Structure 1
Amino acid sequence: MAGSEVPIMCTLSPNRMVDRLTEFESLFARGLTGVEREPLLLRLTFDADARREAEIRDLFGQEEQCCAFLGFSYARTEAGLVVEVTAPQDADPTLDGMQTLAERNAPPETVARTWAG
């Protein structure tokens, strides 16, 4: 979980970071159904069965290992699997980047719903 004493930094090498971004691009393209943003919170909703949920949790779990300053929580709702990513005050640009990556790679209907309100 994110803590104020945890440095705001990613521990991935540049090459591994490229791989991770590619993994997130693929994840967002295959089943992202919602993107919501608050100042220090990014909420991502996925259409996911049990197998897919395990894949989603695994990828975000890997992200939690390299970006310990971020917090991650998961909830199964009627809308699907909701992943909430939280950041400390000075790390909101990290959420901006993840939101941009999500919206750029999400199915068009997901982005349209996000923009519509």
Structure 2
Amino acid sequence: MSEDWAPKTCTLPTVDRPLRIAEFDRLFAFVLRAQRSGPTQLGLVLPRHVEAAARDLARRESECCSFFAFEFGSDGGDVLMCVTVPPAHIGVLDAIEARCGRPR
């Protein structure tokens, strides 16, 4: 899988993209469960102790890729992070889902 899965509409400078991908990979290492609830939505269950980092990363990612919608809720004692994209960006969600399943 390509390391540059960011869409062309991303405004994050290209030089900063590997750092952002590394941040996502660190977060994805904590994913307890990932479930696709439709082609445009992915739910990630995370332990409560990474919630602040997940919210911060979601906020910053929304600034450069405004098509992302992130919502947070709870799943028992854990955090549910829902990632939604428009149909034109399903490939980005596919890449995120694949990265969540990669061994670290």
Q: 1:14 to 1:73 in 2, by over 3 A?
A: same
**Unaligned segments of structure 2, at least 5 residues:** 1-7
Alignment match, 2:14 = 14
Identity of aligned residues (%): 30
Q: Shift of the alpha carbon at 1:105?
A: 4.6
Alignment match, 1:33 = 32
Q: Shift of the alpha carbon at 1:77?
A: 2.3
Listed as ranges, the matches of 1:1-117 within 5 Å are 9-29=9-29, 31-37=30-36, 38-49=38-49, 52-78=50-76, 80-105=78-103
Q: Larger radius of gyration, structure 1 or 2?
A: 1
Q: Is the CA contact 1:26–1:105 (under 8 Å) kept in the aligned structure 2?
A: no
TM-score normalized by structure 2?
0.84
Mapped partners of 2:15, 2:66: distance in 1: 19
Q: Is the CA contact 1:87–1:95 (under 8 Å) kept in the aligned structure 2?
A: yes
Q: 1:39 corresponds to which letter in structure 2?
A: P
Name whichever structure is richer in helix by fraction: 1
TM-score normalized by structure 1?
0.75
Q: Residue deviations 1:13-35, cap 9 Å, x none?
A: 11211100001111111x21010
Q: Shift of the alpha carbon at 1:70?
A: 1.2
Indicate the SS of the match to 1:104. Answer: coil
Mapped partners of 1:9, 1:83: distance in 2: 23
Q: Residue deviations 1:75-110, cap 9 Å, x none?
A: 02205101111111111001011111111156xxxx
Count of residues in correspondence between the two structures: 96
RMSD over equivalenced CA pairs, Å: 1.6
